Chains A and B, each alone.
Chain A
Amino acid sequence: MADVLSVGVNLEAFAQAISAIQALRSSVSRVFDCLKDGMRNKETLEGREKAFIAHFQDNLHSVTRDLNELERLSNLVGKPSENHPLHNSGLLSLDPVQDKTPLYSQLLQAYKWSNKLQYHAGLASGLLNQQSLKRSANQMGVSAKRRPKAQPTTLVLPPQYVDDVISRIDRMFPEMSIHLSRPNGTSAMLLVTLGKVLRVIVVMRSLFIDRTIVKGYNENVYTEDGKLRKMPATLACLACLAVDSQQSSDEARELISGQGTGCERGDSSASQSQLDIWSKSNYQVFQKVTDHATTALLHYQLPQMPDVVVRSFMTWLRSYIKLFQAPCQRCGKFLQDGLPPTWRDFRTLEAFHDTCRQ
Protein backbone atom coordinates (compact mmCIF):
# COMPACT_ATOMS: atom_id res chain seq x y z
CA MET A 1 0.00 0.00 0.00
CA ALA A 2 2.91 2.25 0.62
CA ASP A 3 3.81 1.88 -3.04
CA VAL A 4 0.43 3.18 -4.09
CA LEU A 5 0.68 6.21 -1.88
CA SER A 6 4.30 7.01 -2.57
CA VAL A 7 3.79 8.93 -5.75
CA GLY A 8 4.96 12.41 -4.88
CA VAL A 9 6.04 11.38 -1.40
CA ASN A 10 9.62 11.87 -0.38
CA LEU A 11 10.50 8.76 1.50
CA GLU A 12 13.65 10.24 2.93
CA ALA A 13 11.86 13.22 4.35
CA PHE A 14 9.18 10.89 5.59
CA ALA A 15 11.67 8.93 7.67
CA GLN A 16 13.24 12.08 8.96
CA ALA A 17 9.90 13.45 9.90
CA ILE A 18 9.14 10.32 11.88
CA SER A 19 12.38 10.66 13.84
CA ALA A 20 11.67 14.36 14.35
CA ILE A 21 8.34 13.38 15.87
CA GLN A 22 10.16 11.08 18.25
CA ALA A 23 12.60 13.86 19.20
CA LEU A 24 9.69 16.19 19.83
CA ARG A 25 8.00 13.65 22.01
CA SER A 26 11.10 13.12 24.07
CA SER A 27 11.67 16.88 24.59
CA VAL A 28 8.07 17.37 25.63
CA SER A 29 8.35 14.56 28.09
CA ARG A 30 11.56 16.15 29.43
CA VAL A 31 9.63 19.34 30.06
CA PHE A 32 7.08 17.53 32.08
CA ASP A 33 9.72 15.57 33.89
CA CYS A 34 11.42 18.78 34.82
CA LEU A 35 8.18 20.18 36.12
CA LYS A 36 7.49 17.04 38.00
CA ASP A 37 10.93 16.98 39.57
CA GLY A 38 10.61 20.46 40.82
CA MET A 39 13.49 22.46 42.13
CA ARG A 40 16.80 20.89 42.87
CA ASN A 41 18.36 21.09 46.09
CA LYS A 42 20.73 24.05 46.10
CA GLU A 43 22.15 26.31 48.73
CA THR A 44 19.97 29.33 48.21
CA LEU A 45 16.34 29.64 47.15
CA GLU A 46 17.24 32.01 44.35
CA GLY A 47 19.81 29.60 43.05
CA ARG A 48 17.26 26.85 42.99
CA GLU A 49 14.70 29.00 41.25
CA LYS A 50 17.18 30.20 38.69
CA ALA A 51 18.41 26.70 37.96
CA PHE A 52 14.88 25.50 37.64
CA ILE A 53 13.82 28.26 35.30
CA ALA A 54 16.94 27.83 33.16
CA HIS A 55 16.33 24.10 32.91
CA PHE A 56 12.70 24.67 32.05
CA GLN A 57 13.55 27.20 29.39
CA ASP A 58 16.08 24.82 27.83
CA ASN A 59 13.49 22.18 27.58
CA LEU A 60 10.93 24.49 26.02
CA HIS A 61 13.47 25.70 23.48
CA SER A 62 14.26 22.16 22.49
CA VAL A 63 10.56 21.55 22.09
CA THR A 64 10.18 24.58 19.83
CA ARG A 65 13.20 23.57 17.85
CA ASP A 66 11.90 20.08 17.32
CA LEU A 67 8.50 21.38 16.33
CA ASN A 68 10.02 23.70 13.72
CA GLU A 69 12.08 20.87 12.40
CA LEU A 70 8.99 18.73 12.13
CA GLU A 71 7.07 21.40 10.30
CA ARG A 72 9.87 21.87 7.84
CA LEU A 73 10.05 18.19 7.18
CA SER A 74 6.32 17.79 6.84
CA ASN A 75 6.34 20.31 4.02
CA LEU A 76 8.89 18.20 2.24
CA VAL A 77 6.97 15.03 2.64
CA GLY A 78 4.18 16.14 0.34
CA LYS A 79 0.67 14.83 -0.06
CA PRO A 80 -0.26 11.51 -1.48
CA SER A 81 -1.17 11.95 -5.09
CA GLU A 82 -4.67 13.05 -5.87
CA ASN A 83 -5.02 11.08 -9.07
CA HIS A 84 -5.46 7.86 -7.23
CA PRO A 85 -6.21 5.19 -9.79
CA LEU A 86 -9.05 3.60 -7.86
CA HIS A 87 -10.27 6.54 -5.78
CA ASN A 88 -12.59 5.39 -3.07
CA SER A 89 -12.86 1.83 -4.21
CA GLY A 90 -9.14 1.40 -3.66
CA LEU A 91 -9.74 1.96 -0.01
CA LEU A 92 -11.80 -1.23 -0.04
CA SER A 93 -8.63 -3.12 -0.63
CA LEU A 94 -7.46 -2.14 2.83
CA ASP A 95 -10.13 -4.32 4.35
CA PRO A 96 -8.20 -7.15 5.97
CA VAL A 97 -10.98 -9.72 6.24
CA GLN A 98 -10.60 -11.16 2.74
CA ASP A 99 -12.37 -14.48 3.00
CA LYS A 100 -15.53 -13.27 4.65
CA THR A 101 -16.15 -10.18 2.60
CA PRO A 102 -14.16 -10.47 -0.62
CA LEU A 103 -15.56 -7.23 -1.87
CA TYR A 104 -12.47 -5.88 -3.48
CA SER A 105 -11.60 -8.94 -5.54
CA GLN A 106 -15.21 -9.28 -6.68
CA LEU A 107 -15.25 -5.63 -7.56
CA LEU A 108 -12.15 -6.02 -9.67
CA GLN A 109 -13.60 -9.05 -11.47
CA ALA A 110 -16.86 -7.28 -12.20
CA TYR A 111 -14.99 -4.35 -13.61
CA LYS A 112 -12.80 -6.49 -15.84
CA TRP A 113 -15.84 -8.41 -17.08
CA SER A 114 -17.77 -5.30 -17.98
CA ASN A 115 -14.77 -3.95 -19.83
CA LYS A 116 -14.46 -7.13 -21.86
CA LEU A 117 -18.17 -7.13 -22.59
CA GLN A 118 -18.02 -3.61 -23.88
CA TYR A 119 -15.10 -4.48 -26.09
CA HIS A 120 -16.78 -7.54 -27.57
CA ALA A 121 -20.03 -5.69 -28.11
CA GLY A 122 -18.16 -3.06 -30.02
CA LEU A 123 -16.55 -5.69 -32.25
CA ALA A 124 -19.86 -7.47 -32.83
CA SER A 125 -21.70 -4.33 -33.79
CA GLY A 126 -18.95 -3.44 -36.22
CA LEU A 127 -19.21 -6.85 -37.88
CA LEU A 128 -22.98 -6.88 -37.96
CA ASN A 129 -23.26 -3.45 -39.43
CA GLN A 130 -21.27 -4.57 -42.44
CA GLN A 131 -24.26 -6.53 -43.69
CA SER A 132 -27.42 -4.60 -43.64
CA LEU A 133 -30.17 -6.82 -42.33
CA LYS A 134 -33.05 -4.48 -42.78
CA ARG A 135 -35.55 -6.01 -45.07
CA SER A 136 -38.05 -3.24 -45.26
CA ALA A 137 -37.58 0.04 -47.07
CA ASN A 138 -37.46 2.06 -43.89
CA GLN A 139 -34.52 4.36 -43.64
CA MET A 140 -32.79 4.64 -40.34
CA GLY A 141 -31.07 7.84 -39.48
CA VAL A 142 -33.83 9.96 -40.86
CA SER A 143 -34.63 12.47 -38.20
CA ALA A 144 -37.73 11.93 -36.16
CA LYS A 145 -39.36 14.96 -37.60
CA ARG A 146 -39.26 13.67 -41.13
CA ARG A 147 -40.04 10.02 -40.45
CA PRO A 148 -43.80 10.25 -40.15
CA LYS A 149 -43.91 11.81 -43.59
CA ALA A 150 -41.67 9.29 -45.34
CA GLN A 151 -43.84 6.23 -44.72
CA PRO A 152 -42.41 3.12 -46.35
CA THR A 153 -44.85 2.13 -49.01
CA THR A 154 -44.03 -1.55 -49.01
CA LEU A 155 -45.14 -2.06 -45.45
CA VAL A 156 -48.60 -0.71 -45.94
CA LEU A 157 -50.13 -2.74 -48.71
CA PRO A 158 -53.80 -3.40 -49.21
CA PRO A 159 -54.71 -6.98 -48.23
CA GLN A 160 -56.29 -7.52 -51.60
CA TYR A 161 -52.93 -7.04 -53.25
CA VAL A 162 -51.36 -9.58 -50.94
CA ASP A 163 -54.14 -12.03 -51.73
CA ASP A 164 -53.59 -11.56 -55.42
CA VAL A 165 -49.87 -12.13 -55.22
CA ILE A 166 -50.33 -15.27 -53.17
CA SER A 167 -52.97 -16.72 -55.44
CA ARG A 168 -50.77 -16.08 -58.46
CA ILE A 169 -47.92 -17.96 -56.82
CA ASP A 170 -50.32 -20.72 -55.88
CA ARG A 171 -51.20 -21.26 -59.50
CA MET A 172 -47.56 -21.21 -60.53
CA PHE A 173 -46.60 -24.53 -59.02
CA PRO A 174 -48.88 -27.50 -59.46
CA GLU A 175 -47.61 -29.59 -56.59
CA MET A 176 -47.72 -26.78 -54.08
CA SER A 177 -50.98 -25.46 -52.72
CA ILE A 178 -51.24 -22.31 -50.62
CA HIS A 179 -54.14 -21.49 -48.40
CA LEU A 180 -54.36 -18.00 -46.99
CA SER A 181 -56.18 -16.96 -43.85
CA ARG A 182 -56.24 -13.89 -41.66
CA PRO A 183 -57.21 -15.02 -38.19
CA ASN A 184 -55.25 -12.35 -36.35
CA GLY A 185 -55.91 -9.05 -38.02
CA THR A 186 -54.26 -7.97 -41.23
CA SER A 187 -51.21 -10.20 -41.22
CA ALA A 188 -51.68 -13.14 -43.51
CA MET A 189 -50.99 -16.72 -42.50
CA LEU A 190 -50.28 -19.17 -45.25
CA LEU A 191 -50.56 -22.91 -45.05
CA VAL A 192 -48.42 -24.29 -47.84
CA THR A 193 -48.80 -27.97 -48.61
CA LEU A 194 -46.01 -29.43 -50.67
CA GLY A 195 -47.08 -32.65 -52.31
CA LYS A 196 -47.30 -35.28 -49.61
CA VAL A 197 -44.02 -34.35 -48.04
CA LEU A 198 -44.54 -31.44 -45.75
CA ARG A 199 -46.64 -28.54 -44.66
CA VAL A 200 -45.34 -25.07 -43.97
CA ILE A 201 -47.02 -22.37 -41.97
CA VAL A 202 -45.83 -18.95 -43.08
CA VAL A 203 -46.67 -15.89 -41.06
CA MET A 204 -46.44 -12.70 -43.04
CA ARG A 205 -46.36 -9.02 -42.30
CA SER A 206 -47.93 -7.34 -45.32
CA LEU A 207 -45.88 -8.93 -48.08
CA PHE A 208 -42.80 -9.73 -46.02
CA ILE A 209 -42.32 -13.20 -44.65
CA ASP A 210 -41.94 -13.02 -40.91
CA ARG A 211 -41.43 -16.58 -39.79
CA THR A 212 -42.03 -20.11 -40.93
CA ILE A 213 -42.68 -23.45 -39.27
CA VAL A 214 -42.26 -26.66 -41.22
CA LYS A 215 -44.12 -29.77 -40.16
CA GLY A 216 -44.68 -33.22 -41.54
CA TYR A 217 -47.53 -34.04 -43.84
CA ASN A 218 -49.32 -36.05 -41.22
CA GLU A 219 -48.72 -33.78 -38.28
CA ASN A 220 -51.41 -31.65 -36.80
CA VAL A 221 -51.21 -28.02 -37.87
CA TYR A 222 -54.23 -26.80 -36.00
CA THR A 223 -54.58 -26.01 -32.34
CA GLU A 224 -56.55 -28.40 -30.25
CA ASP A 225 -59.92 -27.17 -29.22
CA GLY A 226 -61.01 -30.29 -27.46
CA LYS A 227 -62.56 -31.89 -30.50
CA LEU A 228 -59.60 -32.61 -32.65
CA ARG A 229 -57.45 -35.65 -32.18
CA LYS A 230 -53.73 -35.31 -32.27
CA MET A 231 -52.56 -38.69 -33.54
CA PRO A 232 -52.51 -39.10 -37.30
CA ALA A 233 -53.44 -42.79 -37.24
CA THR A 234 -57.18 -42.59 -37.12
CA LEU A 235 -59.30 -45.02 -35.18
CA ALA A 236 -62.65 -46.05 -36.56
CA CYS A 237 -65.01 -46.71 -33.73
CA LEU A 238 -67.45 -49.05 -35.45
CA ALA A 239 -66.66 -52.47 -36.80
CA CYS A 240 -68.10 -52.93 -40.28
CA LEU A 241 -68.52 -56.54 -41.15
CA ALA A 242 -69.66 -55.82 -44.65
CA VAL A 243 -66.39 -54.27 -45.70
CA ASP A 244 -65.45 -55.72 -49.01
CA SER A 245 -63.06 -53.35 -50.65
CA GLN A 246 -60.40 -50.97 -49.50
CA GLN A 247 -62.29 -48.10 -51.07
CA SER A 248 -65.37 -48.32 -48.93
CA SER A 249 -63.40 -48.82 -45.76
CA ASP A 250 -61.61 -45.60 -46.49
CA GLU A 251 -64.88 -43.83 -46.94
CA ALA A 252 -66.35 -45.36 -43.83
CA ARG A 253 -63.34 -44.34 -41.81
CA GLU A 254 -63.56 -40.86 -43.17
CA LEU A 255 -67.23 -40.55 -42.36
CA ILE A 256 -66.79 -41.71 -38.83
CA SER A 257 -63.82 -39.63 -37.97
CA GLY A 258 -64.23 -36.91 -40.53
CA GLN A 259 -64.32 -34.08 -38.09
CA GLY A 260 -61.32 -35.41 -36.28
CA THR A 261 -58.83 -35.43 -39.07
CA GLY A 262 -59.73 -32.38 -41.05
CA CYS A 263 -56.12 -31.53 -41.33
CA GLU A 264 -55.37 -34.54 -43.44
CA ARG A 265 -58.18 -34.36 -45.95
CA GLY A 266 -58.67 -30.66 -46.30
CA ASP A 267 -58.46 -27.52 -44.35
CA SER A 268 -61.94 -26.21 -44.77
CA SER A 269 -63.54 -28.72 -42.47
CA ALA A 270 -61.58 -27.66 -39.41
CA SER A 271 -62.88 -24.15 -39.41
CA GLN A 272 -63.32 -24.03 -35.67
CA SER A 273 -59.64 -24.31 -34.84
CA GLN A 274 -56.86 -21.98 -35.65
CA LEU A 275 -53.53 -22.54 -37.26
CA ASP A 276 -51.03 -23.46 -34.62
CA ILE A 277 -48.08 -21.24 -35.38
CA TRP A 278 -45.95 -21.92 -32.38
CA SER A 279 -45.46 -25.61 -31.75
CA LYS A 280 -42.49 -27.27 -33.37
CA SER A 281 -42.55 -30.41 -35.40
CA ASN A 282 -42.15 -33.77 -33.71
CA TYR A 283 -39.55 -34.90 -36.17
CA GLN A 284 -35.96 -33.81 -36.20
CA VAL A 285 -35.92 -33.60 -39.98
CA PHE A 286 -38.58 -30.97 -40.04
CA GLN A 287 -37.08 -29.05 -37.18
CA LYS A 288 -33.93 -28.83 -39.26
CA VAL A 289 -35.87 -27.77 -42.32
CA THR A 290 -37.57 -25.08 -40.23
CA ASP A 291 -34.16 -23.69 -39.35
CA HIS A 292 -33.16 -23.71 -42.99
CA ALA A 293 -36.40 -22.01 -43.98
CA THR A 294 -35.72 -19.25 -41.47
CA THR A 295 -32.27 -18.82 -42.98
CA ALA A 296 -33.84 -18.65 -46.42
CA LEU A 297 -36.31 -15.96 -45.54
CA LEU A 298 -33.45 -13.86 -44.23
CA HIS A 299 -31.43 -14.56 -47.34
CA TYR A 300 -33.96 -13.60 -49.95
CA GLN A 301 -34.20 -9.87 -49.45
CA LEU A 302 -35.25 -7.14 -51.79
CA PRO A 303 -36.89 -4.29 -49.90
CA GLN A 304 -38.42 -2.63 -52.95
CA MET A 305 -39.98 -5.69 -54.55
CA PRO A 306 -41.34 -8.03 -51.90
CA ASP A 307 -43.38 -10.11 -54.29
CA VAL A 308 -40.22 -11.23 -56.06
CA VAL A 309 -38.93 -12.23 -52.65
CA VAL A 310 -41.99 -14.32 -51.90
CA ARG A 311 -41.78 -15.96 -55.30
CA SER A 312 -38.14 -16.91 -54.89
CA PHE A 313 -38.80 -18.20 -51.41
CA MET A 314 -41.57 -20.43 -52.73
CA THR A 315 -39.33 -21.68 -55.51
CA TRP A 316 -36.72 -22.56 -52.96
CA LEU A 317 -39.32 -24.30 -50.81
CA ARG A 318 -40.57 -26.29 -53.75
CA SER A 319 -37.21 -28.01 -54.07
CA TYR A 320 -38.09 -29.91 -50.91
CA ILE A 321 -40.56 -32.08 -52.78
CA LYS A 322 -37.75 -34.60 -53.09
CA LEU A 323 -36.65 -34.35 -49.50
CA PHE A 324 -36.54 -38.09 -48.94
CA GLN A 325 -35.51 -39.16 -52.40
CA ALA A 326 -32.54 -37.03 -53.29
CA PRO A 327 -29.09 -38.04 -52.08
CA CYS A 328 -26.59 -35.44 -50.97
CA GLN A 329 -24.68 -33.92 -53.87
CA ARG A 330 -21.46 -33.89 -51.95
CA CYS A 331 -21.18 -37.22 -50.20
CA GLY A 332 -23.66 -39.19 -52.28
CA LYS A 333 -25.35 -40.77 -49.29
CA PHE A 334 -28.86 -40.42 -48.04
CA LEU A 335 -28.32 -40.31 -44.33
CA GLN A 336 -25.98 -38.33 -42.17
CA ASP A 337 -26.53 -38.68 -38.44
CA GLY A 338 -29.94 -40.03 -39.25
CA LEU A 339 -30.99 -37.02 -41.31
CA PRO A 340 -31.56 -36.83 -45.05
CA PRO A 341 -30.08 -33.92 -47.02
CA THR A 342 -32.07 -31.02 -45.63
CA TRP A 343 -30.15 -28.08 -47.03
CA ARG A 344 -31.06 -26.66 -50.40
CA ASP A 345 -28.56 -24.32 -51.95
CA PHE A 346 -30.04 -20.88 -52.48
CA ARG A 347 -28.89 -20.51 -56.03
CA THR A 348 -28.72 -23.96 -57.49
CA LEU A 349 -31.38 -25.70 -55.33
CA GLU A 350 -29.20 -28.77 -54.95
CA ALA A 351 -29.60 -30.99 -51.95
CA PHE A 352 -26.89 -31.20 -49.34
CA HIS A 353 -26.58 -32.51 -45.86
CA ASP A 354 -26.39 -29.84 -43.27
CA THR A 355 -22.83 -30.84 -42.49
CA CYS A 356 -21.85 -31.23 -46.14
CA ARG A 357 -22.79 -27.80 -47.40
CA GLN A 358 -20.03 -25.50 -48.51
Chain B
Amino acid sequence: MPVAEGKSVQQTVELLTRKLETLGAEKQGTFCVDCETYHTAASTLGSQGQAGKLMYVMHNSEYPLSCFALFENGPCLIADTNFDVLMVKLKGFFQSAKASKIETRGTRYQYCDFLVKVGTVTMGPSARGISVEVEYGPCVVASDCWNLLLEFLQSFLGSHTPGAPAVFGNRHDAVYGPADTMVQYMELFNKIRKQQQVPVAGIR
Protein backbone atom coordinates (compact mmCIF):
# COMPACT_ATOMS: atom_id res chain seq x y z
CA MET B 1 0.00 0.00 0.00
CA PRO B 2 1.89 3.03 -1.19
CA VAL B 3 2.48 5.89 1.15
CA ALA B 4 3.82 9.34 0.70
CA GLU B 5 4.97 11.63 3.41
CA GLY B 6 5.88 15.23 3.47
CA LYS B 7 6.50 17.98 5.86
CA SER B 8 5.05 21.38 5.61
CA VAL B 9 5.03 24.57 7.63
CA GLN B 10 4.39 24.22 11.31
CA GLN B 11 1.12 25.37 12.80
CA THR B 12 -0.74 24.91 9.55
CA VAL B 13 -2.35 21.69 10.65
CA GLU B 14 -5.59 23.59 10.98
CA LEU B 15 -5.30 24.82 7.42
CA LEU B 16 -4.62 21.38 6.08
CA THR B 17 -7.47 19.74 7.91
CA ARG B 18 -9.85 22.38 6.73
CA LYS B 19 -8.72 21.86 3.15
CA LEU B 20 -9.23 18.15 3.52
CA GLU B 21 -12.67 18.59 4.88
CA THR B 22 -13.72 20.84 2.01
CA LEU B 23 -12.42 18.17 -0.34
CA GLY B 24 -14.86 15.77 1.25
CA ALA B 25 -12.72 13.66 3.53
CA GLU B 26 -14.27 12.13 6.63
CA LYS B 27 -12.63 12.24 9.99
CA GLN B 28 -12.02 8.76 11.30
CA GLY B 29 -10.20 9.11 14.55
CA THR B 30 -6.63 9.63 15.64
CA PHE B 31 -3.29 8.02 14.96
CA CYS B 32 0.10 7.93 16.59
CA VAL B 33 3.53 6.91 15.39
CA ASP B 34 6.47 6.99 17.75
CA CYS B 35 10.11 6.11 17.64
CA GLU B 36 12.79 5.35 20.20
CA THR B 37 16.46 5.17 19.49
CA TYR B 38 18.92 2.63 20.79
CA HIS B 39 22.69 2.53 20.53
CA THR B 40 24.61 -0.67 20.31
CA ALA B 41 26.53 -0.95 23.53
CA ALA B 42 30.29 -0.82 23.53
CA SER B 43 30.63 -4.36 24.82
CA THR B 44 28.71 -5.87 21.98
CA LEU B 45 30.02 -8.95 20.25
CA GLY B 46 29.33 -10.80 17.06
CA SER B 47 28.64 -9.29 13.69
CA GLN B 48 27.70 -5.89 14.98
CA GLY B 49 31.35 -4.84 15.02
CA GLN B 50 31.02 -1.14 14.24
CA ALA B 51 30.31 0.98 17.26
CA GLY B 52 27.49 3.39 17.41
CA LYS B 53 25.03 1.62 15.19
CA LEU B 54 21.58 2.99 15.75
CA MET B 55 18.49 0.97 16.02
CA TYR B 56 15.04 2.45 15.98
CA VAL B 57 12.10 0.83 17.62
CA MET B 58 8.84 2.20 16.31
CA HIS B 59 5.16 1.71 16.86
CA ASN B 60 2.31 2.59 14.57
CA SER B 61 -1.30 2.80 15.64
CA GLU B 62 -2.30 1.48 12.24
CA TYR B 63 -0.75 -1.86 13.24
CA PRO B 64 -1.49 -1.88 16.94
CA LEU B 65 -0.22 -5.34 17.69
CA SER B 66 3.19 -4.97 16.16
CA CYS B 67 6.50 -3.34 16.81
CA PHE B 68 9.02 -2.37 14.16
CA ALA B 69 12.76 -2.48 14.61
CA LEU B 70 14.84 -0.72 12.01
CA PHE B 71 18.45 -0.17 11.27
CA GLU B 72 19.36 2.74 9.11
CA ASN B 73 19.84 1.40 5.56
CA GLY B 74 19.36 -1.99 7.01
CA PRO B 75 16.73 -4.58 7.49
CA CYS B 76 13.43 -3.95 9.16
CA LEU B 77 11.95 -6.39 11.60
CA ILE B 78 8.28 -6.65 12.33
CA ALA B 79 7.54 -8.17 15.67
CA ASP B 80 4.71 -8.18 18.13
CA THR B 81 4.45 -5.94 21.16
CA ASN B 82 6.40 -8.26 23.41
CA PHE B 83 9.45 -6.97 21.62
CA ASP B 84 9.50 -3.95 23.91
CA VAL B 85 9.82 -6.19 26.90
CA LEU B 86 12.58 -8.04 25.10
CA MET B 87 14.51 -4.83 24.61
CA VAL B 88 14.52 -4.30 28.31
CA LYS B 89 16.16 -7.67 28.73
CA LEU B 90 18.74 -6.84 26.09
CA LYS B 91 20.12 -3.92 28.03
CA GLY B 92 23.56 -5.38 27.71
CA PHE B 93 23.58 -5.06 23.94
CA PHE B 94 21.38 -2.08 23.26
CA GLN B 95 21.18 1.04 25.32
CA SER B 96 18.46 3.52 24.76
CA ALA B 97 19.48 7.04 23.99
CA LYS B 98 17.52 9.12 26.44
CA ALA B 99 15.46 12.09 25.36
CA SER B 100 15.38 10.78 21.86
CA LYS B 101 11.81 9.67 21.77
CA ILE B 102 10.03 11.36 18.92
CA GLU B 103 6.42 10.90 17.96
CA THR B 104 3.69 12.27 15.77
CA ARG B 105 0.06 12.43 16.71
CA GLY B 106 -2.92 13.67 14.81
CA THR B 107 -6.17 12.93 13.06
CA ARG B 108 -6.96 10.41 10.43
CA TYR B 109 -9.10 11.17 7.40
CA GLN B 110 -10.58 8.97 4.74
CA TYR B 111 -11.33 10.19 1.23
CA CYS B 112 -12.59 7.55 -1.21
CA ASP B 113 -9.75 5.01 -1.11
CA PHE B 114 -7.15 7.42 0.29
CA LEU B 115 -6.17 7.47 3.93
CA VAL B 116 -4.69 10.79 5.02
CA LYS B 117 -3.05 11.32 8.37
CA VAL B 118 -2.04 14.79 9.45
CA GLY B 119 0.01 14.90 12.61
CA THR B 120 2.22 17.13 14.67
CA VAL B 121 5.72 15.83 15.28
CA THR B 122 6.81 16.37 18.85
CA MET B 123 10.05 15.65 20.61
CA GLY B 124 9.50 15.89 24.30
CA PRO B 125 7.21 18.77 25.08
CA SER B 126 7.91 20.83 21.99
CA ALA B 127 6.36 20.54 18.56
CA ARG B 128 8.90 20.27 15.80
CA GLY B 129 7.05 19.80 12.59
CA ILE B 130 4.12 18.42 10.72
CA SER B 131 3.86 15.04 9.12
CA VAL B 132 1.38 14.26 6.40
CA GLU B 133 0.91 10.66 5.39
CA VAL B 134 -1.18 9.66 2.39
CA GLU B 135 -1.95 6.04 1.79
CA TYR B 136 -3.65 4.65 -1.27
CA GLY B 137 -5.18 1.33 -0.32
CA PRO B 138 -5.95 -0.52 -3.52
CA CYS B 139 -2.51 -0.44 -5.10
CA VAL B 140 0.24 -2.67 -3.74
CA VAL B 141 3.09 -1.90 -6.10
CA ALA B 142 4.77 1.29 -5.10
CA SER B 143 5.90 2.71 -8.38
CA ASP B 144 2.61 2.20 -10.17
CA CYS B 145 0.51 4.85 -8.63
CA TRP B 146 2.97 7.58 -7.77
CA ASN B 147 1.40 9.88 -10.38
CA LEU B 148 -2.01 9.27 -8.91
CA LEU B 149 -0.78 10.09 -5.45
CA LEU B 150 0.97 13.18 -6.72
CA GLU B 151 -2.24 14.46 -8.22
CA PHE B 152 -4.08 13.88 -5.00
CA LEU B 153 -1.38 15.58 -2.97
CA GLN B 154 -1.40 18.58 -5.23
CA SER B 155 -5.10 18.97 -4.71
CA PHE B 156 -4.71 19.80 -1.07
CA LEU B 157 -1.06 20.51 -0.41
CA GLY B 158 -0.62 22.92 -3.27
CA SER B 159 2.94 24.03 -3.61
CA HIS B 160 4.35 21.91 -0.81
CA THR B 161 4.10 18.65 -2.71
CA PRO B 162 7.22 16.59 -2.12
CA GLY B 163 9.20 14.55 -4.61
CA ALA B 164 9.08 10.79 -4.91
CA PRO B 165 10.36 9.06 -1.81
CA ALA B 166 13.60 7.13 -2.10
CA VAL B 167 11.85 3.90 -1.17
CA PHE B 168 10.21 3.78 -4.53
CA GLY B 169 13.46 3.85 -6.39
CA ASN B 170 14.83 0.72 -4.79
CA ARG B 171 12.33 -1.91 -5.60
CA HIS B 172 10.11 -1.30 -8.55
CA ASP B 173 7.82 -4.23 -8.60
CA ALA B 174 7.90 -5.47 -5.08
CA VAL B 175 4.78 -5.44 -3.02
CA TYR B 176 4.64 -2.51 -0.66
CA GLY B 177 4.45 -3.32 3.01
CA PRO B 178 4.26 -1.64 6.40
CA ALA B 179 8.03 -1.85 6.73
CA ASP B 180 8.37 0.66 3.93
CA THR B 181 6.07 3.02 5.77
CA MET B 182 8.20 2.81 8.86
CA VAL B 183 11.37 3.42 6.89
CA GLN B 184 9.86 6.61 5.55
CA TYR B 185 8.83 7.72 9.01
CA MET B 186 12.31 7.02 10.29
CA GLU B 187 13.83 9.19 7.59
CA LEU B 188 11.37 11.93 8.39
CA PHE B 189 12.14 11.82 12.09
CA ASN B 190 15.86 11.91 11.40
CA LYS B 191 15.41 14.90 9.20
CA ILE B 192 13.50 16.67 11.93
CA ARG B 193 16.13 15.75 14.48
CA LYS B 194 18.87 17.18 12.30
CA GLN B 195 16.87 20.32 11.88
CA GLN B 196 17.13 20.65 15.61
CA GLN B 197 20.72 21.78 15.21
CA VAL B 198 19.57 24.88 13.39
CA PRO B 199 18.94 27.84 15.73
CA VAL B 200 15.42 28.42 16.92
CA ALA B 201 14.80 31.31 14.55
CA GLY B 202 15.10 29.00 11.59
CA ILE B 203 12.36 26.73 12.67
CA ARG B 204 8.96 27.82 11.55
Task: State the A residues within 8 Å of B (CB).
Answer: 196-197, 216-218, 233, 235-240, 243-246, 249, 253, 282-286, 324-325, 327, 333-335, 337-340
Contact = CB atoms under 8 A, between A and B. Distances in A.
Contacts of A253: 78
B159 interface: no
B33 interface: no
A239 B178 contact: no
Interface in B28-82: 47, 63, 65-66, 75-80, 82
Which residue of A240, A244, A284, A325 has the most chain B CB atoms within 10 A of its CB atom? A325
A281 to B, nearest CB: 8
A337 B82 CA distance: 42
A339 B111 CA distance: 10
Say which size band chain B's interface belongs to. 20 to 34
B166 interface: no
Interface string B168-182: 000001010110000
Given A239-B83, A324-B148, A283 B137 contact: yes
Nearest to A285: B138
Contact of B148 (A196, A237, A283, A340): A340
Contacts of B66: 235
B79 A284 contact: no
6 contacts: A196-B175, A235-B65, A239-B80, A240-B77, A285-B113, A325-B144
Contacts of A218: 1, 140, 175
A216 B177 contact: no
Contacts of B65: 235
- Contact residues of A: prevailing secondary structure: loop
Given A217-B140, A233-B63, A249-B77, A239 B82 contact: yes
Interface of B: 1, 47, 63, 65-66, 75-80, 82-83, 86, 111-114, 137-141, 144-145, 147-148, 151-152, 155, 173, 175, 177-178
A325 B113 contact: no
B168 to A, nearest CB: 13
Contacts of B79: 236, 238-239
A245 B77 CA distance: 10
A13 to B, nearest CB: 77
Contacts of A284: 112-113
B155 to A, nearest CB: 8
Contact of B151 (A239, A240, A335): A335
User: Lowest 4 A-B CB distances belong to which pairs?
Assistant: A338-B112, A324-B145, A239-B79, A283-B138
